[in-house]
Amino acid sequence: MAEAPEKNLALDIVRITEAAALASARWLGRGDKEAGDGAAVDAMRISFATLHIDGMVVIGEGEKDHAPMLYNGEKVGMGDGPSLDVAVDPVEGTNLLAYGRPNAISVVGVAPKGNMFNPGPSFYMQKLVVSREARDVIDLDAPVKDNLVNVAKAMGKSVQDLVVFVLDKPRHQRLIEEIRTAGARIQLQTDGDVAGSLMAVDPRSEVDLMMGTGGTPEGVLAACAIKGMGGQILARLDPQSYVEKEAINEAGIDLREVLTVNDLVRSDDCFFAATGISGGDFLRGVRYSARHAVTHSLVLRGKTGTLRYVESYHNMDRLSKISAVRY
């Protein structure tokens, strides 16, 4: 049955990621990741307070006692709108921002209350992310070469044409060797778990898939975008310490279960926005001119699959006079 157009919350939450990007971009390359992250958190919290939503942060930065941060369980919004699960990463890639490296972004995802996977005590998960073309041909337990061959075939490429995003971490040494042996190309990044997932499903990106172990909260956050773009993420909790493993077992979570995009975000009625902070091929960073600051964002609505790239020109003189956010 045909439906009338509904409010697109993605066009509201992009204002939040823009504000966080503008506030934190002043700290680009200054070596102080706490200050950059704190500026983004403050900007997000102030901006959320203007939205007619009844939101609760389920994917945040930690516990309240470790403020400043948007902590798990924090209420956001004016409380008079739809009840939502909220996932945030005010600065995804705090080290990237602090040291002036590419692809630091500000990210927000929302979904109806009770529809986001709760990572509990899990910090890390194994991930395999692909675009729509390859979403039905991957297997988290298959050899790396088999997945690369199947993805390449689904995309109409050779394995040698593929670009695989991998975090440059010691835990990925064997994975990197297997990808190289298979003949695929690799884009290594020191940080940027969400950005890597987005690149794998963004039709403009040169990255074809993402492989490796990264953050569990980041996996849930990225799933909002992966769902909207019609891609797939296969994931399994992958504790990196005995303490983390024991905590997951005590919580009754199955470490063997393979999670899909529909497990991480169960509703199609999800929304996602990301704004670039530091420059990169994926999203350009905040750029300043004599009168304006320019931001570049990706905006998604899961239900329709509509993807927007938004370039915004912010008049900094006017903003600084009326906004509570410190730009």
Residues 6+ apart with CB under 8 A from 59: 72, 85, 86, 87, 88, 89, 109, 116, 119, 217, 220, 221
Domain with CATH 3.40.190.90 in the chain: 124-264
As given in the structure block, the two tokens for residue 119 are 């990572």
- What single DSSP character describes residue 317? H
The reported pLDDT for the residue numbered 8 is 85
| Nearest to 273, CA basis, from 308, 313, 238, 236 | 308
- Residue 139 marked as a ligand binder: no
Asked whether residue 63 is marked as a ligand-binding residue, the answer is: no
Q: What is the pLDDT of residue 317?
A: 82
pLDDT in tens, the chain (327 residues): 555 556 789 999 999 999 999 999 999 999 999 999 999 999 999 999 999 999 999 998 765 444 457 888 899 999 998 999 999 999 999 999 999 999 999 999 999 999 999 998 999 999 999 999 999 999 999 999 999 999 999 999 999 999 999 999 999 999 999 999 999 999 999 999 999 999 999 989 999 999 999 999 999 999 999 999 999 999 999 999 999 999 999 999 999 999 999 999 999 999 999 999 998 878 999 999 888 999 999 999 999 999 999 999 998 888 887 887 877
Which pTM was predicted? 0.93
Is 202 known to sit in a ligand binding site?
no
CATH architecture of 124-264: 3-Layer(aba) Sandwich (3.40)
Q: Which amino acid is at 189?
A: Q
Is 153 within any annotated ligand binding site? no
Fold of 9-114+269-320: Fructose-1,6-Bisphosphatase; Chain A, domain 1 (3.30.540)
How far apart, in whole angstroms, are the C-alpha atoms of residue 84 and residue 198? Answer: 22
Q: Side chain identity at 273, as an amino acid letter?
A: A
- Sequence ranges of the chain with CATH classification 3.30.540.10: 9-114+269-320
92 is in an annotated binding site: yes
Determine the Cα angle at 81 with ends 78 and 86, to 5°. Answer: 75
- As a whole number of angstroms, the distance between CA 58 and CA 208 comes to 29
Give the DSSP per-residue string, 110-158: EEETT-B---TT--EEEEEEE-GGGTTS--TTS-HHHHHHHHHHHHT--
Tell me if 136 is assigned to a ligand binding site.
no
Annotated ligand binding at 12? The verdict is no
- 80: annotated binding-site residue? no
